[in-house]
Amino acid sequence: MANQTAPAIVYRFGEGVYINLTNRCPNLCAFCIKTKWNMDFHGNNLNLATGEPSARDVIVALEHELPKAPFKQVVFCGYGEPTMRLDELLLVAHTLKGWRAQAKYPPFKIRLNTNGLGNLINHKNIVPSLASVLDEINISLNAADEETWRKIVRPAQGYENGYEDVREFIHLCVEAGISRVVASCVDTTVPDPKAVEQVAKAEGAEFYLRSFLDAND
Ligand code: SF4
């Protein structure tokens, strides 16, 4: 049954505070749980059908949520691709960095979970601006070759050849000096995780084989 509560702009999971910027995404991954879980994530309604939050909405929601309990990271994630809303992402991330510099909260990391298509989505290299605000980036690599990638992520028109862009994006993030760059795939969908690990490492990233139920993308 659909979650009837108001949409969550920020929500907690583990030691993180997560930011739900958008439900839009150029992929339709075979493992994506947003429709299977009815836009609900552990009791949080992540359905933004009534409208996406502004950067100001997110900052207000964070100011309300962060003092409530300890957290170790703030993560741009949600049930969509955060780089679809690059301007808002950067504005919020710069605000978080400012709070951290002022020691407004105990030390925390700023992380983005992404499908790696941000440069294609925004028609430019967005990595330098991301590198200026992020401590960590988790990129869904998903496959060791383009054909398998296409079958798993089921990209929208215009993104069909995106696999090499994802690889390049990973490489650019490593080159830009983001402290932690992780490329992942999902254990239940990929035929050969070892081959994906080799690609991740060839691009200079850490590899993470994540379980389907982690659902952190
Ligand atoms: S990239 Fe993430 S949000 Fe987009 S379809 Fe895949 S799992 Fe879902």
Reported as a single tens digit per residue, the pLDDT across 104-124 is: 999 999 999 999 999 999 999
Q: Which of 159, 216, 217 to mutate to test the pocket of ligand 1 (most atoms within 8 A of CB)?
A: 217
Strand pairing category for 180-186 and 206-210: parallel
Tell me how many domains the chain contains: 1
Within 8 A by CB and 6+ apart from 110, the residues are: 73, 74, 93, 96, 97, 100, 133, 134, 135, 136
d(CA 217, CA 200): 17
How big is the chain, counted in residues?
217
What letter does residue 116 receive in the DSSP assignment? Answer: S
Domain of residue 53, residue span: 10-214
3 domain residue, yes or no: no
Burial class (CB in 10 A: 0-12, 13-18, 19+), 189: middle
109 domain residue, yes or no: yes
Q: What's the 49 CA to ligand 1 centre distance in angstroms? A: 16
Mark the ranges of the chain whose per-residue pLDDT is less than 70: 1-3, 213-217
- Which pLDDT value is given to residue 213? 58
CATH number at residue 167: 3.20.20.70
Using left for φ > 0, alpha for ψ between -120 and 50, and beta otherwise, residue 45 falls in: beta
The torsion angle over the Cα atoms of residues 46, 52, 54 and 58, rounded to 10 degrees, is 0
Residue with CA at minimum distance from ligand 1 atom 1: 115
4 domain residue, yes or no: no
- Which pLDDT value is given to residue 2? 60
d(CA 66, CA 57): 14
5 domain residue, yes or no: no
Q: Which of 23, 29, 38, 152 to mutate to test the pocket of ligand 1 (most atoms within 8 A of CB)?
A: 29
Closest ligand 1 atom to the C-alpha of 31? Answer: 7
- Which pLDDT value is given to residue 216? 45
Q: What's the 106 CA to ligand 1 centre distance in angstroms? A: 31
DSSP string, 51-79: -PPPHHHHHHHHHHHGGGS--SEEEE-TT
pTM: 0.94
